Amino acid sequence: MRRYDDVIEYLLLTGGCFIFSLAAVILVEPYGFAPGGTYGLSMVFHHLWGWRTEVSALSMDIPLLIIGTLVLGSRFGIKTLLCTLLIPLFMWILHITYGYNSLIEPEVTEAITAQGLTGIEAIKQYDHQLLAAIFGAILYGIGLGMIFRSRATSGGSDIISMIVNKYLHISLGTAIIIVDGLITLSTVIAFGDWKLPMYSWLIIIIESKIIDMVIEGQSAKTMMIITEKTEEIRKIIIDEMERGATLIPAKGMYKGDEKSIIYVTLTRREMIALRFRIAKIDPKAFINIVDSSEILGEGFKSIKES
């Protein structure tokens, strides 16, 4: 079983590295965005001096990888080493086979190359920066989420984010915003254009939400139900939904009546279905629904994976 889990983790790692590289090459790099991390800085270097993004990032990732191995342990070090090598490898392959064209505006990229434009002059030729930023962020988030779920990091500033997450218990998405947010300001220094960091901050915000969704999986809801039809609702939860629940004895403060609270955690879809069933069975029921950011245990995410 452990070997099967290891295979899944390495498949997630490889797939995440490829998706991240794909987003970088076809959506983020052509537009001069710098959404944090060593790759964001490397893209700035690429537009300023023509340096290859993957080579610049790799040269910065090596010292950070050493730090990450010492702080996060050898397990993280081995996987992060693989990720540190895979991302530049995939980017190199994509650059050779696909080139430096924008997926959304390939004809603009060709015109830029024909005119010999570089830096901010080249970036200003594009018209669909917002579209590229949104879809680049979605792919970035999916790729990084897969990498983090494999218990690894993509290297670079993500190592710093993992350390912040480990010791300060801040979600990985939030940690990335904190660590990478300031890095985007390098585009203002390099190109003197405030629109670029604004697009980059948009990428970071969307990306962080996607990362949390990929890591935490399907969002869950916790319901606390007070009803006179306890047995009927119990049958729906246990027999039909095949979920567990806890019956908590309670006493009403107004009249002092003995009551029971049904405590149950469900997926969003199951919560909606149960809420409508309860409305039909007991319209006078009291229901409190709260968001559950992470649920560990049977029927949800394994405690071993946390």
Question: Which residues have CB under 8 Å from 254's CB, separation 6+?
Answer: none
Output the pLDDT for position 301: 59
> Which residue would you say has higher pLDDT here, 71 or 82?
82
Question: In this structure, are 61 and 109 located in the same domain?
Answer: yes
User: Is the pLDDT assigned to residue 170 strictly greater than 90?
Assistant: no
Domain boundary, last residue among 185, 216, 247:
216
Question: In this structure, are 226 and 83 located in the same domain?
Answer: no
Gap between the Cα atoms of 72 and 230, Å rounded: 48
* Overall domain count for the chain: 2
Per-residue model confidence as pLDDT tens digits over 40-73: 989 999 988 989 999 999 999 988 888 877 877 6
User: Is the pLDDT assigned to residue 306 strictly greater than 60?
Assistant: no
Question: In this structure, are 85 and 228 located in the same domain?
Answer: no
Question: In this structure, are 296 and 163 located in the same domain?
Answer: no
Output the pLDDT for position 215: 75
Gap between the Cα atoms of 157 and 269, Å rounded: 36
Question: In this structure, are 21 and 146 located in the same domain?
Answer: yes
Question: In this structure, are 13 and 66 located in the same domain?
Answer: yes
Output the pLDDT for position 302: 58
Question: In this structure, are 249 and 105 located in the same domain?
Answer: no
Domain boundary, last residue among 154, 181, 216:
216
> Which residue would you say has higher pLDDT here, 76 or 171?
171
Question: In this structure, are 239 and 149 located in the same domain?
Answer: no
Q: What is the CATH number of the domain that holds 273?
A: 3.30.70.120
Question: In this structure, are 63 and 131 located in the same domain?
Answer: yes
User: Is the pLDDT assigned to residue 24 strictly greater than 80?
Assistant: yes
pTM for the complete prediction?
0.74
Counting Cα atoms < 13 Å in the Cβ hemisphere of 211 gives 26
Per-residue model confidence as pLDDT tens digits over 235-287: 989 888 888 899 999 888 877 888 889 999 887 778 888 888 898 899 999 99
Question: In this structure, are 58 and 202 located in the same domain?
Answer: yes
Q: Are strands 286-292 and 258-267 parallel, antiparallel or unpaired?
A: unpaired
Output the pLDDT for position 217: 64
Per-residue model confidence as pLDDT tens digits over 102-126: 999 999 998 998 898 888 888 989 9
> Which residue would you say has higher pLDDT here, 278 or 177?
278
Question: H helices within 150-267, ranges in order?
Answer: 157-168, 172-181, 186-191, 195-216, 230-235
User: Is the pLDDT assigned to residue 85 strictly greater than 90?
Assistant: yes
Domain extent at residue 229: 220-305
- pLDDT category, 173, cuts 50, 70, 90? low
Tell me the residue type at 306.
S
Domain boundary, last residue among 187, 216, 245:
216
Question: In this structure, are 297 and 181 located in the same domain?
Answer: no
Question: In this structure, are 155 and 262 located in the same domain?
Answer: no
- Dihedral (CA of 200, 205, 208, 213) sign: negative
Which of 118-122, 126-130, 231-235 shows the lowest per-residue confidence on average (mean pLDDT)?
A: 118-122
Output the pLDDT for position 151: 76
Instruction: For 296, list phi and psi in degrees, rounded to 5.
Output: -115, 135
Output the pLDDT for position 76: 58
